[in-house]
Amino acid sequence: MAPKPETLAAFEAAKGFMPLDEGLALHAAAEEAARLGLPLIEIGTYCGRSTILLADAARGAGVTAVTVDHHRGSEEQQPGWEYHDPEVVDPEVGRMDTLPAFRRALHAAGLEEHVVAVVGRSPQVAALWAAPVGLVFIDGGHTDEHATGDYEGWAPHLAPGGALVIHDVFADPADGGQAPYRVYRRALESGAFTEVSATRSLHVLRRTGRGV
Ligand SMILES: C[S@@+](CC[C@H](N)C(=O)[O-])C[C@H]1O[C@@H](n2cnc3c(N)ncnc32)[C@H](O)[C@@H]1O
């Protein structure tokens, strides 16, 4: 079921990098994965735009969305880079802090109680994680180091039938960075995943085998 108009309005109002069509594909994948009755994991909260959609799917199924971010921004979001937003710099600290905007966005969406936000580095959090999960959405750092760390840290926790969703997958280097694409290829070549759908750069895979 598509998100309600008020959820979509909160999504559109939130800062972030998720276009509507890809967001709806993420929401559909999350709704299906949530039927497993397991948590939905997001790597890369930023200001909560995609989190709102995961949280809406989690609410519908009575599960929890867990979103992980250190909230200091990725490389390309730092001052002087293409995706920098000066409004999310903490003037006292002099560094990015997207946590306040995230909290405001989630509150505006009325979805706070369906989300656990973890402030930390993805590999560090993954190393502490032990439970099976229904969905892993990789939208964190887009370097090879970070994208690979997200895959290696979180994909092994996916239950059979769970969804691996990867954002910013570009086969052609002219369209964007290649790290998410390399992770996507690696997942398919592992034999543990089958592709379910692709909506522009957002690819949904299902765990159908072992050996991630
Ligand atoms: C592209 S943004 C996420 C966009 C968001 N999903 C949306 O819909 O707008 C990437 C986020 O990943 C976070 N990030 C990058 N590397 C990380 C890491 N190693 N651990 C945790 N968060 C990380 C950054 O702080 C940034 O907020």
How far is residue 169 from each of residues 2, 142, 183, measured CA to CA in Å?
A: 24, 10, 9
Report how far ligand 1's centroid is from the alpha carbon of 69 (Å). 6
Tell me, yes or no, if 114 is annotated catalytic: no
Distance from C-alpha of 202 to C-alpha of 50, rounded to nearest angstrom: 12
Average pLDDT over residues 10-30: 98
Determine if ligand 1 sits within 6 Å of the CB of residue 178.
no
pLDDT exceeds 90 at position 210: no
**Which residues are bridge partners to 198 per DSSP?**
203
Q: Which of 40, 53, 74 to mutate to test the pocket of ligand 1 (most atoms within 8 A of CB)?
A: 74
- Please pick, among 27, 70, 71, 142, the residue that the annotation labels catalytic: 142
Q: How many C-beta atoms surround the C-beta of residue 160 within 10 A? A: 12
Distance from C-alpha of 120 to C-alpha of 74, rounded to nearest angstrom: 13
Structure tokens at 211: 């050996």
Q: Name the percent of the chain lying above pLDDT 70.
A: 100
pLDDT, one tens digit per residue, over 84-112 is 999 999 999 999 999 999 999 999 999 99
Distance from C-alpha of 136 to C-alpha of 39, rounded to nearest angstrom: 9
pLDDT band at 124 (very low <50, low <70, confident <90, very high): very high
The pLDDT value recorded for residue 212 is 86
- Report the length, in residues, of the chain: 212
pLDDT exceeds 90 at position 159: yes
Residue from 59, 25, 208, 48 nearest 117 by CA: 48
Report how far ligand 1's centroid is from the alpha carbon of 132 (Å). 22
Do 96 and 71 meet the contact criterion of CB atoms below 8 Å apart?
A: yes
Q: What is the pTM for the complete model shown?
A: 0.98
Report how far ligand 1's centroid is from the alpha carbon of 11 (Å). 17
Sign of CA dihedral 186, 26, 99, 67: negative
Determine if ligand 1 sits within 6 Å of the CB of residue 18.
yes
Q: 73-97: b or e for each residue (b if 16 or more CB lie within 10 Å)? A: bbeebeeeeeeebeebbeeeeeebb
User: Which class in CATH covers the domain with range 5-207?
Assistant: alpha beta
Domain borders along the chain are 5-207
Determine if ligand 1 sits within 6 Å of the CB of residue 74.
yes
Distance from C-alpha of 111 to C-alpha of 59, rounded to nearest angstrom: 8
Beta 202-207 vs 158-166: how paired, if at all? antiparallel
Distance from C-alpha of 19 to C-alpha of 21, rounded to nearest angstrom: 6
Distance from C-alpha of 114 to C-alpha of 112, rounded to nearest angstrom: 6
Determine if ligand 1 sits within 6 Å of the CB of residue 17.
yes
Determine if ligand 1 sits within 6 Å of the CB of residue 22.
no
pLDDT exceeds 90 at position 211: no
Do 158 and 212 meet the contact criterion of CB atoms below 8 Å apart?
A: yes
Structure tokens at 47: 């200001």
pLDDT, one tens digit per residue, over 46-59 is 999 999 999 999 99
pLDDT exceeds 90 at position 18: yes
